[in-house]
Structure formats: structure tokens, C-alpha cells
Amino acid sequence: MALEVAGLIAGYGPVTVLRGVDFRAEPGRITCLMGRNGVGKSTFLKCLMGLVPATEGTIRLDGTALEGLPAHEVPRHGLAYVPQGRRLFGPLTVAENLAIGGLVQGNDRATLAHVLTLFPRLGERLSQVAQTLSGGEQQMLSIARALCLKPKVLLLDEPTEGLQPSMVSLIQDAIRTLTGQGVAVVLVEQRVDAVLRLADSVAFMVAGRVEETRDVKGLAADDPVFRNYVGV
């Protein structure tokens, strides 16, 4: 179930943000996407989800063309999305948020039960209104909601932004378990240490293009690529 993107061009109205992205994500592997603020990382994920239309280029999931599909068809092919800033359905309960996540697969009980073993704290709060959860719990819910879809490809946009270290490692552990189940994970992440700990490979984005892709094995925190592309 490889996700293969070639020559993707997209933007907002007259503004072009993605200028020919080539990208690949493999099942069971975590591919990180790094780049400075505003290079188009979030736009790339939105474009994969069909939320920002691609004007050119192809998105293939195991050969099936996803580009040009209406946004609501994309998750039916197994793509799940954890947006930057969580975007929970705030006035809805935890259980209802999870039910929205499971819509396309018919909300089967086994999937929900499995997701709740990954995030037991959510199981204790099923009837709590999402916007009253703590920041960390909200982030767990955003990920859990996506997992209820039983995704083949999981897109995560800075899921540990602004969280305390214990919460960060809890979420990282959950992400790692997914790869064991054959999910292809695409992770937008700004922190070098997190990338080195989690990722199998890392793609560096500059001005709407993937400039370079590196295997994480053998990459050190002081490698010049990080300074070049991320500025740390």
C-alpha cells in the first residue's frame, strides 16, 4: 500500500504553494516531513486529503488514483488525517468524535476497542465534551479519531506541538505501534530529536518542493541537512 506522489502542484486561489512535490510513504514505515514555517507542509497534507485541490500531479495509493477525488471520497480509500491544531468537533463528546472517525468503516466495535487500548484515558472520558479535555487529551482524541477509520495511511500534522514531554512520548509510542500494524505514517514534525527517534526516513521540504529525502539510519542530530532545511 505505498503512497506515491509525483509532481503535485496546488495552492490557494492564485497563490501556488506546492510546486511539484514528489513523495513516497511505505506501509509499516514512518516518513517524516520537515521544513521551515510556511514551506507548505500542511498544504501538502490537505492536498493529499483532497481538501486543497491539486491543479497538477498524481497521488497514487497502491496504484489507485486519488487526485481529483472529492474530499469526502478520499478517506474511503484508507487515508486518515490528524490536522494541525487538532480540529476536534469541540461541542461533541469524545464518543461522538470517535464515531465520526469510524463513519467510513461502519464504526465496528473491535476497531474502537483497539483504539481505546492505545489511549485508555479516552475510554474513561467517552461522554465528556471534547472541548473540555486537556490539551494532551485533545491531541490523543484527534489521533484516536483518525485511527477509528482503520487507516492504511495516517497523516499527522505536528501532533505533539505544545505538549509536555510525558504526553509527547505517550503519543510517539502510539504512533510507533501503528507501524507494526502495517500503517504508512506520514508525520510532519519540527523537532530533530523526535524525527531521529521515530522516523524511518525524512523528507525535507523547501518552497513547495521536497528537496531531499534521507534515511534516518546513520543520520545524526548535528547533520548539516537539519541546519540547511530546518535552520536548527
Partner 1 sequence: MAFGPFLLLALMEGLVTSATLALAAAGLSLVFGVMRVVNVAHGEFYMLGAVLAWAVAALVPGPPALAFLAALVVAPLLVGALAAAADGLILKRLNYDPEATIVATIGLLYMIQQATLSLYGPNANPVQAPFDWRIQLPWFGYSGYKLFVILAAGLVLLALWAFMTRTKAGLIMRATQVDRTTARAFGINVDRVYMGTFALGAGLAALAGVLIVPIQQAHYLMGGDPLLLSFIVVIIGGLGSLRGTLIAALVIGLSDGVISMFFTPTLAKILATLLVAMVLVFRPHGLFGAKA
How far lies 33's CA from each of 24, 27, 129, 137, 197, in Å? Answer: 11, 16, 32, 24, 14
Q: Work out what residue 145 binds among ligand ATP, partner 1, Mg ion, none; the CB cut-off runs from 5 to 8 Å by kind.
A: partner 1
Q: Which is nearer to ligand ATP, 7 or 38 (CB)?
A: 38
Find the part of the chain contacting ligand ATP (CB under 6 A) among 9-17, 57-65, 69-77, 139-147.
Answer: 9-17
Angle between helix axes 135-147 and 165-180 (nearest 10 degrees) is: 10
Q: Pick the closest to residue 210 from 13, 6, 26 (CA basis).
A: 6
Q: What cell numbers appear for 164 in the block?
A: 509536555
The nearest distance, CB 37 to ligand ATP, in angstroms, is: 4
35, amino acid identity? G
The binder of partner 1 chosen from 12, 51, 164, 176 (CB under 8 A): 51
122 interface partner picked from Mg ion, ligand ATP, partner 1, none, CB below 5 to 8 A per type: none
Rounded least distance, CB 211 to partner 1, Å = 27
Q: Are 174 and 118 in contact (CB under 8 A)?
A: yes
Interface residue with ligand ATP among 30, 39, 155, 168 (CB under 6 A) is 39
Residue 40 interacts with ligand ATP (CB under 6 A): yes or no: yes
Our finding on whether 84 is near Mg ion (CB under 5 A) is yes
Judged by beta carbon, residue 101 or residue 208, the one nearer partner 1 is: 101
CA pair distance 158, 142, nearest whole angstrom? 12
Burial status of residue 110 (CB atoms within 10 A of its CB: 0-12, 13-18, 19 or more): exposed
Q: How far is the CB of 127 from partner 1 (least distance, A)?
A: 13
Percent helix, strand and coil across the chain, each to the nearest 5: 35, 30, 35
Given the DSSP bridges, would you call strands 201-206 and 3-12 parallel, antiparallel or unpaired?
unpaired
Please say which residue, 98 or 157, places its beta carbon nearer to Mg ion.
157
Question: Which amino acid makes up residue 18?
Answer: L
75 counts as binding partner 1 under rule CB under 8 A: yes
Candidate ranges 35-43, 55-63, 119-127, 210-218; the one touching ligand ATP (CB under 6 A): 35-43
User: How near is the Cβ of 111 to partner 1 at its closest, in Å?
Assistant: 14
* 101 is a site residue for partner 1 (CB under 8 A): yes
Question: Which residues are near Mg ion by CB under 5 A?
Answer: 41-42, 84
